[in-house]
Amino acid sequence: MEELAQLQRQAHAAHVAGDKQGYLEAALKVRSLLNDAPNAIEATARAYAEAGDNEGALTALHEYAAMGQADETLLAGEDKAFVALHELPAYRSILEKFRLNKTPIARSEKVFALVDPGLIPEDIDFDPLSKTFLITSVLEKKIVRVTSSGQSSAFASSPSGWPMLAIKVDAKHNRVWATEVALDGFTAAQKSDWGKSAVLCFELQTGKLLRRIEGAQHSALGDMGLTGSGDPVVSDGEGGGVYKVENGHLELINGKDFISPQTPVVLPGGKLVAVPDYLRGIGLLDLRSGQVQWINHTAGIHQAGAKVALNGVDGLYDSRGFLILTQNGSSPERVVRMKLDRSRAKVVSEDIIERSTATLGDPTHGVILGDWFYYIANSGWDKLDEHGDVKVGEKPSPGLVMRFKLR
């Protein structure tokens, strides 16, 4: 996190000073740090263009497009950095690829709509005992229990009056683990609480609060997975740490490799956790040593040597050698399934489930039930401003629960 901030300051200073080579060098270092994330690749294209290297700019833009991405400002001709490329056939070909990357893909089906449009649903899990879903609400700061037909009832509220984000059901031990986060700058939480978050444990049958474990100051414990024994693994999207709950305390597993870790998923065998970093891609975290190996996203699936986009992942789920990703930080946003090789260190193929549809909106999280993947679409996050208030002129519509058949 500190390294990225330093490089960004260097890039900004070089840009302001008109040092085009220094700006390009800083952009390339950011790209390396972020493991060739699409946004970082496009940033190097802009730096190449400003340095007058049209070939370098076109190569980087081609990589960006080959990862399934699209830039609306370039399609609209509003980005002045690439004016010198506008009449080149290679640039027009890239724009055409952008248009193709934006075409809708719809392979899932609607299960139900949440009646209350003000929920802003974030995470979802399933209670096999009552055969209902449990869904967290950001703005109404609670957990609701929802039937397969969409009928909802209250389960529990945030004890601190903060937005509720992560949720995981441990039916074996009659437990529900969740998190509450006083998101910095959000008017849904008191200003004096901003930057605080906590892990909560409820009784599954009654919704009774059993335990509350507060995180460090300036943390956002926003995502969670469970080990085979039911212990939560929690990520701090603000501070960059990944923790495990042990003996009623948060024990740091890794606090140096991630910038904005999201939903951790414990892989079969229980030794490795796949942790998506919103900026850096997906890391395989060893629960014992704390060491991280980044998944190689160079897979010859579009063309020889093409990369796949592993950035902007909010939800991550393991399914029989595949990873399922909800990507609300990619462009366009999408839900996608990726097959890994036997070592789980490299992407072999990708399969888009939903992209650029009227139903998708901002997808957040999901849950695998048998042969189906259920996920939240149209969450409403895109209707909120940076303070968590509904944007002027916007009106949230009910969130949707979609499903895709895995077999």
Average pLDDT by consecutive 10-residue portion of the chain (407 residues)? 95 95 97 96 96 96 96 92 94 97 97 95 97 98 96 97 98 98 96 97 97 95 96 97 94 97 96 97 96 81 68 96 96 96 90 96 97 97 95 93 95
Q: Which domain holds residue 76?
A: 2-103
112 with 97, same domain: the answer is no
Tokens read off for 359:
């139903």
The pLDDT value given to residue 305? 57
| Residue 54 and residue 84 in contact, taking contact as beta carbons nearer than 8 Å | yes
271 with 133, same domain: the answer is yes
Instruction: Count the Cβ atoms, other than its own, within 10 Å of residue 351.
Output: 14
21 with 34, same domain: the answer is yes
Dihedral, CA of residue 112, residue 363, residue 337 and residue 44, to nearest 10: 170
Single pTM value for the model: 0.95
364: left (phi over 0), alpha (psi -120 to 50) or beta: alpha
The pLDDT value given to residue 300? 47
64 with 127, same domain: the answer is no
201 with 269, same domain: the answer is yes
Separation CA 361–CA 76 (nearest Å): 21
| Residue 49 and residue 84 in contact, taking contact as beta carbons nearer than 8 Å | yes
List the strands of the sheet with 249-254, edge to edge: 221-226, 232-236, 242-246, 249-254
Give me the amino acid identity at 273.
Answer: V
Which among 103, 128, 149 is the end of a domain? 103
Tokens read off for 346:
């490299």
Separation CA 139–CA 120 (nearest Å): 6
Tokens read off for 14:
């070089």
The pLDDT value given to residue 302? 43
Contacts of 5 by beta carbon, 8 Å cutoff, 6+ apart: none
SS3 labels along 250-294: EEEEECCCCCCECCCEECCCCCEEEEEECCCEEEEEECCCCCEEE
Which among 103, 118, 150 is the end of a domain? 103
For the chain, how many helices (H) and strands (E)? 6, 25
117 with 74, same domain: the answer is no
Tokens read off for 283:
């890391």
373 with 312, same domain: the answer is yes
CA separation (Å) from 1 to 8, 24, 239, 381, 383? 11, 20, 8, 25, 28
Which among 80, 103, 126 is the end of a domain? 103
E-strand stretches of 138-248: 142-146, 152-157, 164-170, 175-182, 196-203, 209-214, 221-226, 232-236, 242-246
157 with 67, same domain: the answer is no
58 with 205, same domain: the answer is no
